[in-house]
Structure 1
Amino acid sequence: MKKTPLLAAIALAACSFDLQAPAEGNIITLQVTPAGQFKPRDGREMKVPSWNINTALATAVVQRFAAKKTPPVVDYEHQTLWKEENGQPAPAAGFFRSLEWREGEGLFAQVELTARAKQYIADGEYRYFSPVFMFDPVTGDVLDVQMGALTNNPAIDGMQALSERAAATFQLSIDHPNEELLVNPLLKAVLAALGLAETTTEEQAVAALTAHTTDLGSLRKQLGLDDTAACSAMVAACTGLKAKAATAVDPAKHVPVTVVDELKGEIAALTARLGERDDKDLESEIKAALDDGRLHKSMEPWARELGKSNRASLTAYLGAAKPIPALRGSQTNGEPPVPDEKTGLTPDELAVCSAMNITAEAFKAAKEA
């Protein structure tokens, strides 16, 4: 999601350091933080493991301080934070003039004291310095110095409330380069459901959600559902369509049974008609061959069987056969023909054998078949 700058946390009285009277003039050196990692002396609960400062961080703090137009104040007992509530004045005890980092020791400030503050310190009426600094709420790194106070009670009662007051007073924000995006669990779930990363901007998330809603509306319409139909209803509708599609007949691959039966009937009728016509044609062909002498009467059964099993062979045979004039009429004046004593064939039959160039035995075998 779009990053919202983190509010920098404020540490109040995180550490208190002994005050020493200025060596000369009104300038006093005060320790603001120790070096490295440190925690509050009063043992309060922290949201980070510790506060941290090192050379690199201190360099940035010093640069940030140098850019300030108004030097941070040092007051008494953090009255600057209380003045709106108690209505009391918040006189300054001094002002920060500079910051410096001392390797291995910590961050130090040069503070110009007021005459009264200088006297308080000299007389021992104030013994401690309590800084207020800004830190990164993710890493605990010290980022800036806001103010400080002279105090005699470094572990102030109600310190947590005073820290919150300081945070309210110094509403500062930071852009954390390494921060984890602060996305609540619900928003994370929404982004995950949309297939979006947690780094998605608000505009991108809204656009994706709008597109998703539009797609759902179109899907409901295609399924014949109303605009308020739940996802379960959409799933049920899709399941029904899938089941219907699985059992549906593809008209490009299948035809109704009634059509098939009708075609079978027509084919059977056509086949019967063709068979009848073939039979008639066969009889006509055999009769013509008998009439013109290409076929002897005794060969009629053979010719009919051959025509039914292999019409083309019979047609070829009759086409090559030569008519025998003797077979066209009677050669015995109406009397039964006398068979040949040797072959047992009549003169007509012998003539057929001669015309067809077959033996008497083959003719008799065909005749008796």
Structure 2
Amino acid sequence: MTLVHATCSELPGGTAPDTVQLLPPGAFTARDGRGFRLDNPNGLIALFKADAVDKPVDYEHQEDDPARRGNGPVPAAGWIKSLFYDARSGLWAKVDWTARAREMIANREYPYLSPVFTHDANGRITRLMGASLVHRPALHLKALASEQEQPMPDTSTPFARIAKALGLPDDATEDAILAALGEKLATASEVTPDPAKFVPIEAVRELIAERGSALALNSEQQAQSRVSEAMREGYITPAMKDWAVALCRQDPDSFDRFIASSPPAFGHLFGPSGARSVAPEKRFSTSAQSAEEMAVCSQLGIDPAKLAKV
């Protein structure tokens, strides 16, 4: 990794701004011709949060010059408290300036701010180390001025979009976002739904169960009725009833095909008996009684001519 001192941010007279631009978005070129890429701003922000310490803003990169650092105290001009990214303008920081630095910025004693970062061999920026107030810029960035336009926070990450939807500040932590989201969901679960638009799930389940029971009962009644009719017509016997009801209930088409392909072989079991099918007047002949009939009539004292009326 290579440590870079890059200067930017012209400082017109006025009050020192609390929000400053550190790096432009995407690929950019310094004034000395070096090329860099800010292709993972969220990674830089994550590393800054993981370090859990404010990054220093010094004067003329004294913190990064071993010779100057060894000659005595290196005063801070301010401290970077947080970072955020805007897709249109790049990486920004909120800075807590010292009183001395605010005065010098207001008096135009230090007109530029130079970020310090590490990068790999391809110019990809890997970590933000801090920044410095300088006299000569190396990057083309916006001036540090109280009247400069404040950027909009990045809303490209899921947490940033959720924070915005919940009305949280731009620098809200993930824990704060999750806590607010949990509270929002808990509150929503306590809201009574409009009965004109929503039906309780219990009522829907009960309705589905009742409909299923009604359909099952109707199917059972139809199966019993059709099997009873088939029995009366002689297509099946009583011993076949349970099987026929089960088949008709489960597959009515198969039951119909069975009836259509089977003759009513058992019809004689359910029709009137042979004796009753003969007309009464033909059961006995009044003119040709057998000898056996005459003998029975004689023993019982019955007139053979009256047998036809019995």
* TM-score interval, normalised by the smaller of the two chains: 0.3 to 0.5
TM-score w.r.t. structure 2 length?
0.41
- Which of the pair has more CA radius of gyration? 1
